[in-house]
Amino acid sequence: MIGGKSYRAIFISICVGFLSILTLVFIINQFFINKPIPQFTLTYTAGTNGSIEGTTPQTVDKGRTGTKVTAVSNSKYHFVKWSDNGSTEASRIDTNVQGDINATAIFKADPLTTDTLTPTAESNDTTPSAPSQRSYYGSGNTGATTVSTVQSIPTFTLTSTAGANGSITPNGVTTKNDGSSQTYTITPGATYHIDDVLVDGVSAGAVSTYTFSNVSANHTISVTFAINQLTISAPSLTLSKPYDGDTTAAVTAGSLSGVVAPDVVTVSAVATYDTSAVGTGKTITVVYTLGGADAAKYVKPVDYVVATGVITTAPLTAIGAITGTPTVGQVLTAGALTPLGATVTYQWQNAATSEGTYTDIPGATSSTYTLVTGDWTKFIKVVATGTSNYTGTQTSAATTVVTDPNWIAGTGTLSGKYVRSADLGSTYTWDPTDSICRSPQCATGLDPNYPSEYSFVSPQVNPGVDFSGYPAQNACKAIGGRLPNMQELLAIYAGKVSYGNNFQASYYWSATETVGYDPEFGEYNSAWAVYFSDGSIEPNLGKSASIYVRCVVSG
């Protein structure tokens, strides 16, 4: 040791010829170890009825030796042992210290002693006997008696308490002599169990008995109880189902265990998926509920959880009949789906016959479809295809044949009329209010300049030809319910229309649209006119004044 520190010395002896050099190299221990030598604390404590002689606590370097300490008992007591190593030697010196030491000296009362007293009494004299608090009378003789002397033995109190729904025996305060023992028995009530036992405020666990041995101090013991939690066998659980938009899983509860007879307790179970979406590896949690007259005495079993649930896509199983009237211009609606509320895409189709080949109608992809003139005389179906959580395809039954439209008579009045010969390349605009005539005659009062007996004739008339049998409505129906163009009108009125440089241009009802003549086809597209004849024929294939009408679909 140098300066209170430990060193290692390396002696190097070098002989060179006749020269000897002795070199002493000191290397500070901390330079190599890079930390101080560990130190430990030795603490010696006297128990009840004694004391410690010597230094306590002591600080000692690792591997070193402490100083001597001695356990000294009080009067009428003696040293029993050290608490850490059980040594019965009152004096101790701890060597090669490798850690902290905490040792308590335990003392115990001395055992009872018996003494023999021999009193001497003179004749007719009295000899007091203090130990037994008696007086002995003598008659000139000597006598002997045995007297027991009693020492005061220390006592300690043990206090026990029990919470509700159980007991501890003995209960309350118990007085015990120094060095004696006491065992406690703990009993839970029906449907309860021991929750915890605290000895001097420290948990001893859920023990059913506890013993204080070699009592040398006051102690406390307290116990708490908890209601029993029932156990249950594994449930019968359906791990997979098709998508139904709900998180419920099918489950049947297992069998309860732990019910004390004659208690009546039942159990039910509800199982739920973590989400209702299609997927695998889904968590299903089973939650139990207790029932029955004695359910309140127990705690329900812990939840049952699995992570192997599966929800598959649901099949689309049916589509109901199409609703709506199968007439051009009417709206058809796809029937109800099974499962109800399934997500699908729609495609409407038509076919020439009920059992024929159906083709998709372009753009008809919603749950409703408005019939057009192209559907006239055809049959309609709708195809639903599952999406998202649904799969499969269902096709509805066909409608009855789509009928022709009903023509509606207008209720308005004609605001004007336009008469002139058409020149090739000319463009005209007609701007009346919405007014429609219904064949074979128009309503009266269209114009005060013309009597009500005017009849329908063709756009270009031959002298003396009556066209009243070819009303406007017939012309519409002849080509499928739409407005005929000029060439179609000529075909309809074949033999009754004369050709020439002049023929009447045809216009349809519109407040904004312009209808022009198409030189390539020699016609005015999508428009036609109806004429009234006043009975007079002009020299050059005279033309009557004209009004213009459209086909209108009812509904």
Q: 213 is in which domain, residue-wise?
A: 155-227
**Residue 379 and residue 490 in one domain:** no
pTM score over 0.85:
no
Provide the pLDDT for residue 373. 75
375: closest CA among 399, 396, 345, 409? 399
**Residue 293 and residue 417 in one domain:** no
| pLDDT tens digits for range 399-427 | 999 986 543 333 333 333 333 333 333 33
| pLDDT tens digits for range 335-362 | 999 999 999 999 999 999 999 999 999 9
**Residue 239 and residue 282 in one domain:** yes
**Residue 58 and residue 72 in one domain:** yes
**Of 310, 332, 363, the domain-final residue:** 310
Provide the pLDDT for residue 27. 42
List of residues 6+ apart from 394 with CB closer than 8 A? 316, 317, 318, 319, 337, 383, 384
Give φ, ψ of 132 to 5 degrees.
-100, 5
CATH number for the domain including 329? 2.60.40
Provide the pLDDT for residue 526. 31
The CB density around residue 48, as the number of other CB atoms within 10 Å, is 14
Statement: residue 168 has pLDDT above 90: yes
**Of 148, 174, 195, the domain-final residue:** 148
**Residue 287 and residue 299 in one domain:** yes
Residue with more model confidence, 427 or 179: 179
* Residue 34 counted as domain residue: yes
Residue with more model confidence, 12 or 404: 404
What value does the mean pLDDT take over residues 258-282?
Answer: 95
Give φ, ψ of 476 to 5 degrees.
-65, -50
**Residue 141 and residue 164 in one domain:** no
**Residue 59 and residue 47 in one domain:** yes
The one-letter code for the residue type at 115 is D
Quote the CA–CA distance of 69 and 22 in Å, as a whole number.
46
Provide the pLDDT for residue 191. 87
Mean pLDDT of the chain: 71
* CA 210 to chain CA centroid, nearest Å: 47
* Residue 279 counted as domain residue: yes
Provide the pLDDT for residue 114. 52
**Residue 28 and residue 93 in one domain:** yes
Helices and strands counted in the chain (H then E): 3, 46
Label residue 34 by pLDDT band (50, 70, 90). low
What value does the mean pLDDT take over residues 91-119?
Answer: 81
Give the CA distances from residue 206 to residues 163, 185, 195, 202, 209, in Å, rounded to whole numbers and listed in that order.
13, 12, 6, 12, 9
* Residue 385 counted as domain residue: yes
Quote the CA–CA distance of 59 and 62 in Å, as a whole number.
10
**β-strand partners of 92:** 69
CB-count burial class (<10 Å; 0-12, 13-18, 19+) for 197: buried
* Residue 519 counted as domain residue: yes
**Residue 236 and residue 209 in one domain:** no
5: tokens are 């520190």
Quote the CA–CA distance of 153 and 48 in Å, as a whole number.
13
Statement: residue 302 has pLDDT above 90: yes
* Residue 400 counted as domain residue: no
Q: Total domain count for the chain?
A: 6
Statement: residue 241 has pLDDT above 50: yes
**Residue 518 and residue 450 in one domain:** yes
Provide the pLDDT for residue 36. 79
**Residue 431 and residue 485 in one domain:** yes
Write the DSSP string, 50-115.
Answer: EEEES-SSEEEETT-----EEEEEPTTEEEEEETTT----SEE---S--S-EEEEEEEEEPPP-EE
* Residue 549 counted as domain residue: yes
What value does the mean pLDDT take over residues 231-255?
Answer: 95
* Residue 538 counted as domain residue: yes
**Of 148, 163, 194, the domain-final residue:** 148
**Residue 412 and residue 547 in one domain:** yes
* Residue 434 counted as domain residue: yes
